[in-house]
Structure 1
Amino acid sequence: MYRLDLNKSWSLKSGEKTYTADVPCSLYKTLIENKVIPDPYYRENEYISTDICDNGCTFEKTFDVDSQLLDCGRKILRFDGIDTLSEVCLNGELLGKTDNMHRIWEYDANGKLKEKGNILTVKLFSPNEYIRQKQKERPLIGVEHSMAGYPHLRKAHCMFGWDWGPKLPDMGIWRNVSLCFFDKGRINSIYFTQKHEGGKVTLCCTADMDILETDPPEKISARLTVTSPDGISQTFPIEEGKAEVVIDDPKLWWVRGLGEQPLYTCTVEMYCGEHIFDSVTKRIGLRTLTISQEKDEWGKEFCFINNGVRIFAMGANYIPEDQIVTRCTKERTVKLLDDCKAANYNFIRVWGGGYYPDEYFYDWCDENGFIIWQDFMFACSAYLLTPEFESTVRAEFKDNILRLRNHASLGMWCGNNEIESAWRYWGWADDKQCKADYLRLFEDIIPSMLSELDPETFYWPSSPSSGGGGTDPDSAQAGDKHYWDVWHNFKPIEAFRQYHYRFCSEYGFESLPDIKTCLYFADESKGDLDLCGNVMQAHQKCTQGNEKVMYYLAQMVNYPYDFRRLIYCSQIVQADCIRSNVEHMRRARGRCMGSAYWQVNDSNPVISWSSIDYFGRWKALHYYARKFHAPILLSCDDSEPAKPALYVTNDTLNDEELTIIENLRGNDGSIICKGECRGIIKAMSAKKMCMTDYSAELAEREDRRTKYLEYKLIKNGEVISGGTTLFVRPKEFIFLPSKINAEVHDRGDIFEIGLTSDNYAKSVCLSLKDYDCIFSDNWFDIHGSEKVSITADKSQLPENMTAEQLRSQLQIQNY
């Protein structure tokens, strides 16, 4: 097979004007690049940008084809993604119409190509007008933050707006375009299944192949070559579309933190004599990976099991990285996933209101040992299974199941986000037809297709759910749960710890992004740095979002009179809130076996629940995640403030002998009394190690406001985990004025920043005035004169920056 890339040198016709573009290309992206429209993320520009998609546009390309390629027996025009409603024409002939962003579209180009001057046209139609008309004909339920009628169209829902995203319903060619030329046949797909038994793995390959008729007929053969991670190859014949390989000494793929991620390279080739005319290569991991729902004392567990080991899944929910999806790139995705790895994730959930990510997303997860929870692209909405809608979603399911099913990182499929619970709890109108179609779509069609196309991957009908059928989808005894009473329902932060989940796949808390991010979309000289002002409201999509920010700040911290202080306070409250819940869940390891906070990333510069903002800047939460996701975690249950209990959670495969040191300190950082305990914590377990009664030391109100507990976990003389606990909320604690001293030293490839304080300094935040930097630690405490050393990698900073220059850039905040 030969592939001719058609991504370059397109033209966009919008109105009476024409612009150049390369795939991935879209209306918004092209108009922004040509400065025809202003940045929709700036100030309130979103409001003048939505209606641009009221009218259609046309993308067109002229190309030539080598005369030898025209002689190939089969020619296919392939679009990996068109967004969304279009007519595709080649040399004036209509090849077909598209109605689904999530599908691959292929067209027979035999007899339609010429050697010179081929013209390929994609005429796109307004998504706004389409959903408007469809909603008028037959209303469908959706979320309040989006444009009415969006469930009628198979397009990333969040492009129509969400409670973290603007209404920018773009259109364009968002994935690769190519011409594929086949000589004697084609490999349509390959699928690998595994049987693990007796220390061996039997690898079964099923290949779906088309053989073209030739005159005279030729002998067509196929073979499978398996190359081990250490480079040893074996080749096996494929007969009747199948081959079976026994691997005697398999190198198993493990979830991150439990082992390595060796990948086997498997290549299927079709050949005739010595001529190979098509080949497909997949990299696979030899592993078992599924969800266990075994009954236990609390109900039924919901737990990933990898090679027989029960995994506590730690991570977050992932959304599209840009509201204008044609601006998403491999480099941005890899950087985001690297940042997740740096925060000790082993798991990520692909949320159902966006799109199925690109191949490189899954490749990275394969290589780095992440488990992927993969939603199908349905969220918070009712759908009508018309014949046309059913036909296109069936094709969508097939395309994406075939594309993703061989990835080692694929841990489960999930039918949708929150629709089962919405029918049960959200007060939706009783639409009997849509309710019946819900059951048919998510509890019949998808599981039936998966049983045929990917029977080895676990399927879950909805999130949250206890198993489907609308039976208590919010159960705490089985399945997964979304817990939003903290935030949406104004419950206090401590409410997190009143519940025990089996797997909490959504919960969250908002904060403002970094000041540099705010200044990207706001003009300080025009008074935009006002949380209640129009610009900040435009960048807060959650209903009553800014009111909720202030409500929770009022509970936890002193009033921030300065906008930069407001950012700081919002981030520390967010981080402490999520930390409290994650540590609570990890202390309950065995009962709870998974945590995915909402959300890791942003699709635009916005006030949101993310731990990393649109520009990749870490909030306090992401620094905290690196600590509360640590493989061995020391955490404090301070439900009884005067009797704090210290727990160790060990998510490694080894028993560990550890030492806990706890110091009761005064607000000047001095140690009032100390304690120590030692113990062995078994592999893959959580245990209460010690509980000290400080009732005498905290007898008076003033004691609780001037003393705090520091605790740290020691392994082989090194601190591997730790934290501090106040006995009152931060706004009630009496902090002494803290003068923080910072010295910067050049240590070769890094700068070392040494910090001390004359008193206890809580939640010390480092930033640079003009640059971005991810520090070795941040949002940390300084216990008076006890030095804290932080490093900054020089590769992140301007070349030839000196220690003095870094010190002059350094900005320090603390509580």
Structure 2
Amino acid sequence: MRHQLLSRATWTFRDASTKKWLPATVPGCVHLDLRQAGLIPDPFFGTNELELQWIEERDWEYRARFKVDAQLLGEEIVELVAEGLDTVATVTLNGKVVARTANMFTPFRWDVKKLLKPGAQNELLIRFDSAMAYLRENHNAHTYREFNDPVGNSNRIRKQQCQFGWDWGPRLVTAGVWRSIQLEAWSTNRLDNLVVKQVHDAKGGVQLDLTPELARPDADAACRWKLQLDGETVATGEGASIVVPDPQLWWPAGQGAQPLYTLTVDVVDATGTKIGRWSQRIGLRTITLDQSKDEWGEAFRFLVNGRPIFAKGANWIPAHSFVVGLSRADTERDLRSAVEANMNMIRVWGGGIYESEDFYDVCDELGLMVWQDFAFACTLYPVNEDFRELVRPEATAQIRRLRHRASLALWCGNNEVWMLNRETVTDETKVEIRSAYEKLFHELLPEVVAENDPATSYWPSSPWRRDGVHGHEAGETSGDSHYWDVWHSRKPIKSYELWKFRFVSEFGMQSYSSPATNATFCPADDTNVFGPTMENHQKNAAGNQIILDYVSRQYRFPQTQDDLIYLSQLNQARCMQMGVEHYRRLMPRCMGALYWQLNDCWPVASWSSIEFTGRWKALHYAARRFYAPALVSAHVPGDEQVTIGNYRKSTMDVAHLYTVYDAPEPTRGVMSWDLMHIDGTRLGGGTKKVVLRPGEAVKQKTLDLHKLFKKTSHDDVYVRIALEIDGQRVSEETVLLASPRFMHLPRGKVRCKVKALDAHRFQLTFTSPVLQHRFAFDLGKLDYRASDNFFELYPNESKSVVVTLKRKLTAAKLREQLTWRSLVDTY
């Protein structure tokens, strides 16, 4: 096969209502091209987003002029291959219409040999009609509620749904050639794809069965293959099966290694002529969704190579509002941060895109299992057959593209469509709606999965329970749950502990991004969190009020806005820690916790644990601790209540201490606890030798504090818990027995020693004479990564942290940027 990349051609674009052509980049999109031409401001800065809504109402044309290689034209078939057109496109080659498309997610292939001019300039013109015009003119009988589109009807088009606005993202409805476009030429036959079926036996053996998929069926086609690992050839041969010698299994992060074999297969015809080559990296593993019956109902857990895995992770949204042209580094930054926080699963959320090859490469390499939603989110979709026929080739292409991925764990039909529209779908007067829903998510999609990737499990919606049973109670016995009583319903954070869910695939709490990130989009005179710019960068209608509500329940009124930002992040981390540790303590009844959300697509106040700039929020540092393979965790079943007269009453008189362990090999450790007065006096404590077994959460100790609180206030006591393995402290936490705002936190001077390890790395050692609760340091606008932050700084104990900077710096210059605060410093 011969190729000619058309991205190397000379591309121009224009507003179709004008005559002026401007330089364009392909792959790309109209917003980026307009920005490059100096015709629009930075869409992320200030409130510029509001001034750019006119772009979605225009039609845009992209034009390429190129000559075709003579050898390419000598082939029997020459095809124009467009991997991604966004979205309503008319493709014209040398004045002849090739095709009209209306799906951003489907790759297209057209035979265009007869339209090409040898030895002369060819012109490819792609007109992108306004998505808004399409919405007004197509599927307009479908008028069901939109949840995140402020204008409405974005569900009528097969286009990235969050382009139309979401409660964490801007409305920037773009157009363009967003993935590669090229000419491909071939004769006789073409290798389209290859099916690799893994057969694992009980003794650890692995066989790979190969089935080529050809443009023209050929029963005589044969495979010649080579299997390599780490650059070394481990097997070569011919035929439809490979017995892998000494197979090395792929495991999720924290469960083992991630060996990736390179499988290269040449497919030849009966004469021995090569039809094509397929070469990909694969991991030898099995991943299944286990829903077997158990003592609590029906399991919902992932088995990897037969081993039950507690899924620890977060939800992924597109890494940028403009998904074109993102490099591997743009996604690897946050995916690597996920693994550094002990995560092993990422849920690719259905309102975004099917991610790039780079994304899945990184997941394969790092051991991040991928829960892959199909690209549907929240709202009902059109009921007609024309719409479903747009979906079928989309699903087929994406499944065939990703099915060989070691990281692929699940295909999921949609995000929250059933949950948010259950009353409509189950309304007996609207049977056609339920029928249409089921035809798409219970018939078409599982059928396409079964046809193209039978090895991967399918789940119709998230959340979902078999037979569509609704309610928190149902989530305690089967399926996956989204729990939003905390945040959207403003329930107390201890509400997490009310339910024993089987798997929790969404739950979250918002916080503000750091002052350094806010400075990247806020004009100097408009930085107030309630001002126009920050309100534009807060996409949840009640977001600021809910943040303040939860912050006020836990913390005192802050002195400055920077203190408020810090408190919002502490609150977010505290909420997610309470939820995740509760779910982990329920293991093996609960076997997954994926919080909302890992990343941002622009600088914004959101539920993310990593800011758009890559900075870790307090939550991400906390996640590294609460997702640790060996965890010590406290459950305090009591609570604080307010009685008539605003008097406080506490029942937080008991603390149950647990060990949670999900590493693959058993070990032993020592759990310790210290009852501490806030003034530094030790009031009691103890140690216990513990056995840690994979997949076990064990209540190791109950502390009865009733007698203590007859002498001492809840406001003056904390419990320090820790777990050591082989003399190394692997988990540690401070257990508070009162709301932090009521605690009499001491003030003390913090000292810091700065030691240069090299030009980019420094060791910071902090000490304090008193407890510094959730001590956090910052380096201003410097781009850095810290080994720890937002930690407990205990009295008279040094805490060393290593920071790594992007650019070289001296210790003296670093110290100039260094600031810190703990909770007591905010009021």
TM-score band (shorter)? over 0.9
Contact preservation (8 Å) 2:718, 2:735: yes
Partner of 1:581: 579
**Post-superposition offset of 1:468:** 4.2
AA matched with 2:520: Y
AA matched with 2:210: C
Give secondary structure in 2 for the equivalent of 1:261.
coil
Give secondary structure in 2 for the equivalent of 1:455.
coil
Partner of 1:116: 120
Kindly report which structure 2 residues correspond to 1:464-503, keeping only aligned pairs within 5 A, or say none. Answer: 464-469=463-468, 475-503=475-503
AA matched with 2:65: T
1:785 aligns with 2:766: no
1:155 aligns with 2:159: yes
Unaligned runs of 5+ in 1: none
Partner of 2:523: 523
Contact preservation (8 Å) 1:421, 1:470: no
Partner of 1:60: 63
Partner of 2:345: 347
Q: Summarize the Cα distance change of 1:90–1:804 in structure 2 as closer, same or farther, 3 Å threshold.
A: same
AA matched with 1:202: Q
Once the two structures are superposed, what CA deviation does each residue of 1:125-176 show, in whole Å capped at 9, x if it has no partner? Answer: 0012221344755423321444311111000110001111111111111101
Contact preservation (8 Å) 1:132, 1:148: no
Give secondary structure in 1 for the equivalent of 2:786.
coil
Partner of 1:798: 807
Partner of 2:648: none
Once the two structures are superposed, what CA deviation does each residue of 1:695-751 show, in whole Å capped at 9, x if it has no partner? Answer: 232325x53112211111111111111110111011011111232111101123631
Give secondary structure in 2 for the equivalent of 1:781.
strand
AA matched with 2:822: N
Contact preservation (8 Å) 2:90, 2:100: yes
1:709 aligns with 2:725: no
Partner of 2:319: 321
**Post-superposition offset of 1:469:** 4.4
Partner of 1:811: 819
| Alignment counterpart, residue 775 of structure 1, candidates 786, 806, 811 | 786
Aligned length: 801
Identify which range, 684-693 or 308-317, moves more after superposition. Answer: 684-693
**Post-superposition offset of 1:408:** 1.1
| Alignment counterpart, residue 210 of structure 2, candidates 205, 223, 234 | 205
**Post-superposition offset of 1:183:** 3.2
**Post-superposition offset of 1:212:** 9.7
AA matched with 2:498: Q
Alignment partners' CA distance in 2, 1:511 and 1:705: 26
Alignment partners' CA distance in 2, 1:312 and 1:461: 21
AA matched with 1:445: L
Alignment partners' CA distance in 2, 1:146 and 1:631: 42
Kindly report which structure 2 residues correspond to 1:82-101, keeping only aligned pairs within 5 A, or say none. Answer: 82-101=85-104
Partner of 2:301: 303
Give secondary structure in 2 for the equivalent of 1:62.
strand
Partner of 1:459: 458
Kindly report which structure 2 residues correspond to 1:499-648, keeping only aligned pairs within 5 A, or say none. Answer: 499-525=499-525, 528-640=526-638, 641-648=652-659
Partner of 1:81: 84
1:363 aligns with 2:361: yes
Alignment partners' CA distance in 1, 2:724 and 2:172: 51
Give secondary structure in 2 for the equivalent of 1:111.
helix
| Alignment counterpart, residue 734 of structure 2, candidates 692, 717, 724 | 724
Kindly report which structure 2 residues correspond to 1:424-443, keeping only aligned pairs within 5 A, or say none. Answer: 424=422, 431-443=430-442
Kindly report which structure 2 residues correspond to 1:748-763, keeping only aligned pairs within 5 A, or say none. Answer: 748=758, 750-763=761-774
Kindly report which structure 2 residues correspond to 1:35-74, keeping only aligned pairs within 5 A, or say none. Answer: 35-74=38-77
Partner of 1:21: 24
1:382 aligns with 2:396: no
Partner of 2:710: 699
**Post-superposition offset of 1:611:** 0.3
AA matched with 2:285: R
Question: TM-score w.r.t. structure 1 length?
Answer: 0.95
Identify which range, 114-123 or 637-646, moves more after superposition. Answer: 637-646
AA matched with 1:696: K
Give secondary structure in 2 for the equivalent of 1:208.
strand
Q: Summarize the Cα distance change of 1:16–1:567 in structure 2 as closer, same or farther, 3 Å threshold.
A: farther
Q: Summarize the Cα distance change of 1:403–1:732 in structure 2 as closer, same or farther, 3 Å threshold.
A: same
Contact preservation (8 Å) 2:425, 2:433: no
Q: Summarize the Cα distance change of 1:384–1:219 in structure 2 as closer, same or farther, 3 Å threshold.
A: closer
Give secondary structure in 2 for the equivalent of 1:546.
helix
**Post-superposition offset of 1:615:** 1.3
Alignment partners' CA distance in 2, 1:147 and 1:281: 45
Contact preservation (8 Å) 1:670, 1:784: no
Question: TM-score w.r.t. structure 2 length?
Answer: 0.94
Partner of 1:253: 250
Partner of 2:679: 668
Give secondary structure in 2 for the equivalent of 1:31.
helix
**Post-superposition offset of 1:470:** 5.4
Give secondary structure in 2 for the equivalent of 1:185.
coil
Alignment partners' CA distance in 2, 1:470 and 1:642: 37
Once the two structures are superposed, what CA deviation does each residue of 1:68-121 show, in whole Å capped at 9, x if it has no partner? Answer: 211011111111101000101111111101100010011112222223311111
Contact preservation (8 Å) 1:374, 1:410: yes
Give secondary structure in 2 for the equivalent of 1:7.
helix
Alignment partners' CA distance in 2, 1:98 and 1:427: 30
Contact preservation (8 Å) 1:201, 1:246: yes
**Identity fraction in percent:** 35
Alignment partners' CA distance in 1, 2:479 and 2:34: 46
Give secondary structure in 2 for the equivalent of 1:664.
strand
Give secondary structure in 2 for the equivalent of 1:166.
strand
Partner of 2:195: 191
Q: Summarize the Cα distance change of 1:22–1:468 in structure 2 as closer, same or farther, 3 Å threshold.
A: farther
Give secondary structure in 2 for the equivalent of 1:141.
coil
Contact preservation (8 Å) 1:82, 1:101: yes
Alignment partners' CA distance in 2, 1:148 and 1:744: 54
| Alignment counterpart, residue 694 of structure 2, candidates 683, 700, 703 | 683
Once the two structures are superposed, what CA deviation does each residue of 1:789-812 show, in whole Å capped at 9, x if it has no partner? Answer: 11112xx2422x111211111110
